[in-house]
Amino acid sequence: MVLLNGEGNSDAYIKCSLTKHTAELLIHENILMLGTWQGCYLAEFDGPRNRRVYIQIQGEDKHSGVN
């Protein structure tokens, strides 16, 4: 299979399609809850260039009385 897009970065598109674009991570009492062999990495497949990383934090309302 040969992909021609004129930019010479077809491999970057293939690598990107094989990885996740988002991650859900658990933070408990200000500690990132990862297993012994787990890690969180940012990979640049088309690169070096400036990128923006967006982080959204959702939490529970400790005052709502809902468990």
**Which is higher by pLDDT, 34 or 48?**
34
**pLDDT at 34 exceeding the cut of 90:** yes
For range 45-61, the mean pLDDT:
83
- Spell out the domain ranges in the chain: 1-58
pLDDT at position 36 is 94
pLDDT at position 35 is 93
Rounded distance, CA 49 to CA 3, Å? Answer: 22
State the pTM of this model.
Answer: 0.52
pLDDT at position 33 is 93
Q: How many residues are given for the chain?
A: 67
Apex 18 CA angle, 16 and 2, nearest 5: 75
Q: What is the 3-state secondary structure (H, E, C) of 1-67?
A: CCCCCCCCCHHHHHHHHCCCCCCCCCEECCEECCCCCCCCCCCCCCCCCCCCCCCCCCCCCCCCCCC
